[in-house]
């Protein structure tokens, strides 16, 4: 199958350090190539892949010292994708809803994996307007805020089997990995570790938007907690020792986490997870098997005390059974086939469900002429409120 993968430009594929979406895109792309598909990856020029790489920017935007406006650059990328529609059997988008107007205009097999939270009120009219767009959720819980949209499937993330090696001897510290932000609640992790009397190592990035929160809320906690060590961002190679050497991963989130890639990274290392019961956590963590689900700091401290009852071998086996890149790619190929079949049926006049959608609104309505990339970029820029640069 000829497959296009369209990644955001904020991070390279795979990311140099933090970047959950881009890491998943990389794992999926490489596994699809390994399984024999012809894959083209639209991503930043510093990406590394065995697929054909098409880039419209040389450097991922977060690492670009000039900090360019991302919106026009993503519009250019989407124009490149749309100008090559006939080169692909299906286009797989990972950049949210940016392509929806273009995809509606150009009738072609495509779907979108939604990687972020969907409980924001401003998203409701957007997805109502584009309710025909084929969507993939990354957990069942992620779907809850949106009804009446075209969910194709829920596909949990997966990682290559050999990306991490299991470590079956537990370490002597707790780990926190991810971002320092209000919803990730590293402050809870510090308090849990303090009450449990266990050292905590924090490997996390601080986005510019969270710098004030970090300085005002977290730095004082770190200064007052000598057992909590902040080591900054780490790369993929460093994750092996960081996660594998921990007795457990703390995931004390305070938001409806769509998936939580770090949980399966820990499981791949054989490290159990103690996570707050929010969002996707109950879908990933089976209490007593690969970790514990908790609802308070007291429960988390109790879980730390019982963490040696979790088999690290079982954690690794759960990863192999449920969260590999091989399984993820096979599930996506099945979803691609379903989308392509629906389009063929609609073209043959057999898809009565989709033909009942309002004329001119449905993704499965009669094909329209393919627009030139320049026209699509102009339309997107105008709709987004960008001024034309002359």
For residue 356, what pLDDT is reported?
Answer: 41
- 3-class state of residue 124 by DSSP: helix
Q: Which of 357, 339, 370, 379 is nearest to 105 (CA)?
A: 370
Say how many CA atoms lie within 13 Å of 77 toward its Cβ.
29
Work out whether strand 273-276 and strand 200-205 pair parallel, antiparallel, or are unpaired: unpaired
Q: Which CATH architecture group holds 174-323?
A: 3-Layer(aba) Sandwich (3.40)
Domain ranges of the chain: 2-159+327-384, 174-323
Secondary structure in 3-state letters for 128-197: HHCCCCEEEECCCHHHCCCCCCEEEEECCCCECCCCCCCCCCCCCCEEEEEECCCCCCHHHHHHHHHHHC
Task: Report the pLDDT value the prediction gives residue 62, as an integer from 0 to 100.
Answer: 84
- Which residue's structure tokens are 């986490």? 257
Return the pLDDT at 106.
Answer: 84
Q: How many CA atoms are closer than 13 Å to the CA of 59, on its beta-carbon side?
A: 8
What strand order describes the sheet that includes 248-251?
A: 228-230, 200-205, 174-179, 248-251, 273-276, 291-294
Domains 2-159+327-384 and 174-323 share a fold: yes
CA gap 289, 320 in Å, rounded: 14
pLDDT at 349: 65
CATH 3.30.300.180 at 2-159+327-384, yes or no: no
Q: What is the pLDDT along the chain (390 residues), one digit of tens a residue?
A: 999 999 999 999 999 877 789 999 999 999 999 999 999 999 999 999 999 999 999 999 988 888 889 999 999 999 999 999 999 999 999 999 999 999 998 889 999 999 999 999 999 999 999 999 999 999 999 999 998 999 999 999 999 999 999 999 999 999 999 999 999 999 999 999 999 999 999 999 998 899 999 999 999 999 998 889 999 999 888 999 999 999 999 999 999 999 999 999 999 999 999 999 999 999 999 999 999 999 999 999 999 999 999 999 999 999 999 999 999 999 999 999 999 998 887 777 654 444 344 333 344 433 333 344 444 444 444 433 333 332
pTM of the full structure: 0.87
């Amino acid at each position: 199958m000829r497959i296009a993968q369209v990644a955001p430009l904020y991070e390279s594929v795979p990311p140099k350090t933090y970047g959950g979406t881009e890491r998943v895109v990389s794992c999926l792309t490489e596994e699809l190539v390994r399984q024999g598909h012809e894959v083209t990856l639209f991503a930043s020029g510093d990406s590394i892949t065995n697929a054909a790489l098409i880039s419209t920017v040389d450097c991922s935007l977060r690492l670009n010292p000039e900090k360019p406006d991302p919106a026009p650059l993503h519009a250019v990328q989407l124009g490149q994708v749309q100008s090559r529609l006939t080169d692909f059997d299906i286009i797989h988008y990972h950049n949210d809803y940016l392509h929806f107007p273009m995809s509606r205009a150009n009738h072609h097999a495509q779907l979108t994996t939604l990687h972020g939270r969907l409980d924001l009120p401003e998203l409701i009219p957007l997805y109502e307007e584009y309710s025909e767009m084929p969507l993939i959720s990354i957990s069942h819980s992620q779907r809850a805020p949106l009804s009446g949209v075209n969910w194709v499937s829920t596909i949990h993330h997966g990682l290559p089997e050999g990306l991490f090696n299991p470590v079956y001897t537990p370490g002597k510290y707790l780990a926190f990995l991810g971002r320092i932000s209000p919803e990730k609640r590293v402050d809870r992790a510090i308090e849990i570790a303090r009450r449990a009397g266990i050292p905590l190592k924090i490997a996390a990035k601080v986005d510019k938007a969270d710098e004030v929160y970090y300085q005002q809320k977290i730095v004082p906690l770190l200064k007052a907690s000598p057992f909590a060590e902040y080591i900054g961002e780490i790369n993929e190679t460093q994750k092996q020792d960081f996660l594998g050497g921990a007795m457990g991963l703390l995931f004390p989130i305070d938001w409806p986490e769509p998936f939580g890639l770090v949980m399966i990274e820990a499981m791949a290392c054989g490290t159990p997870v103690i996570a707050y019961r929010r969002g996707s956590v109950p879908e990933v963590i089976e209490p007593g098997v690969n970790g514990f689900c908790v609802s308070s700091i007291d429960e988390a401290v109790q879980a730390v005390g019982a963490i040696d009852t979790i088999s690290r071998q079982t954690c690794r086996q759960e990863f192999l059974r449920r969260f590999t890149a091989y399984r993820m790619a096979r599930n996506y190929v099945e979803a691609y086939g379903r989308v392509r079949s629906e389009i063929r049926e609609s073209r043959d006049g057999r898809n009565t469900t989709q033909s009942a959608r309002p004329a001119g609104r449905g993704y499965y309505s009669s094909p329209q002429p393919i627009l030139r990339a320049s026209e699509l970029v102009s339309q997107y820029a105008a709709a987004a409120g960008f001024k034309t640069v002359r």
